[in-house]
Chain A
């Protein structure tokens, strides 16, 4: 028996994450890890919305953090205008939700990281049932616009999805066709972002 497990045995048969014991679970987990190996980890949620309301249900809603997490990553892999998860969600509403999440995060000292991507098209590995309208063509313009939107909100972190997820055609790694175009775009905006962050330190 590994020591960490002992204090958490009470929770071993729980089959759902969101319940009244979640906060207690995370508190015990953090304490156990800290006692055992001296690390006090921060727990982040990765938030893949399955429908437009999940931003409210999970991402923005304080229960996400009250449940023991220190923050979350926004994980919106598809364009809000074309993705199946976001078809019903207008861009303005989505931007509003993101903005609201960040306001809450700053007020409560939670971490919020926002995602950007260059596109998303996984038909090469999932050839069945995927509609063209659900896909986002990979393009430099797409990455530009995502980074601009995210920088406007000045999040705690940026999450590029992805570096090399080639089977979903979202990678920014250098290619024969595009060279390092996508990486240069990231570098351009990241330098601006880091300068903003640096100015906050001074």
Chain B
């Protein structure tokens, strides 16, 4: 018995960040937050053209899953470092969530590309339940959905860890024989 994605491809995932806002500078450090310069410059994660280019570039190099760090709406305000430079400390608490919606739509459109979510900092089962429910019934929670529709099956389902930090990740895989 082997594990495959719905298209019978093996899982080749890459961690994908949805939090960039066009300003990659940090005056408290070295002026820049990165040592290298992406060819797309200091892009915004909300830019659909950039997302599309990312998916196409990844697909063209054998990657078939983007594994996204993600905060549910409103939790994006959380401060996790003393310097408040954490990407989680978003000015717009729904920014990552809205960008995830765009990514899921583009992945679905380009086909054979999947999206998996890592939900950080969930310590309580109560939160886990809320966020699982949210991800599966997007339109039912806090008025925010992916273009007013539930997450497309099978792009996103839930999984969880039992680690101390309570990280939650999601993946959908087929566990079945292809014959």
Query: Which A residues form the contact surface with B (CB < 8 A)?
Result: 2, 4-5, 8, 11-15, 17-18, 22, 25-26, 29, 33, 36-39, 41-48, 50, 58, 64, 67, 69-73, 109, 111, 113, 121, 123-128, 138, 156-167, 169-180, 183-184, 186-187, 190-191, 193-194, 197, 200-201
Nearest 10 CB-CB pairings of A with B:
A157-B11, A190-B62, A41-B157, A162-B15, A44-B159, A163-B14, A166-B34, A45-B161, A43-B159, A187-B61
Beta-carbon contacts of B146-179 to A below 8 Å, as 1s and 0s?
A: 0000100110011111111111111111010010
Contacts of A170 in B (CB 8 A): 15
Q: Is B63 interfacial (CB-CB < 8 Å)? A: yes
- Distance (Å) between the CB of B58 and the closest chain A CB? 6
Would A200 and B159 count as touching, CB distance under 8 A? no
* Selected A-B contacts with CB under 8 Å, 7 pairs: A12-B129, A26-B160, A45-B160, A69-B162, A156-B10, A160-B63, A186-B61
A178 to nearest B CB, angstroms?
7
Taking a contact as CB atoms closer than 8 A, the residue among B4, B13, B36 that contacts A113 in the complex is: B13
A48, B167: Cβ atoms under 8 Å? Answer: yes
B163: contacting residue among A38, A45, A124, A183, CB under 8 A: A45
Determine the chain A residues whose CB is within 8 A of the CB of B153 once the complex forms. 38-39
Q: Are A164 and B166 in contact (CB under 8 A)?
A: no
Q: Which residues of B contact A (CB under 8 A)?
A: 1-4, 8-17, 20, 24, 26, 28-30, 32-40, 54, 57-58, 60-63, 66-67, 81-83, 85-87, 118, 123-126, 129, 132-133, 136-137, 140-141, 150, 153-154, 157-173, 175, 178
| Chain A, residue nearest B29 (CB) | A127
How many angstroms between the C-alpha atoms of A11 and B160 in the bound complex?
Answer: 15
How many residue pairs at the A-B interface have CB separations less than 8 Å? 248
Candidates B3, B37, B159, B171; contact of A175 at CB < 8 Å: B37
Pick from B14, B34, B38, B83: contact of A159, CB under 8 Å = B14
CB closest chain-B residue, reference A191: B62
B36 touches A17 (CB 8 A): no
Q: Which residues of A contact B86 (CB under 8 A)?
A: 125
Q: Which residue of B124, B163, B173, B175 is within 8 Å of A47 (Cβ)?
A: B163
- List B contacts of A124 (CB < 8 A): 26, 29-30, 32-35
CB distance from B72 to the nearest CB of A (A): 14
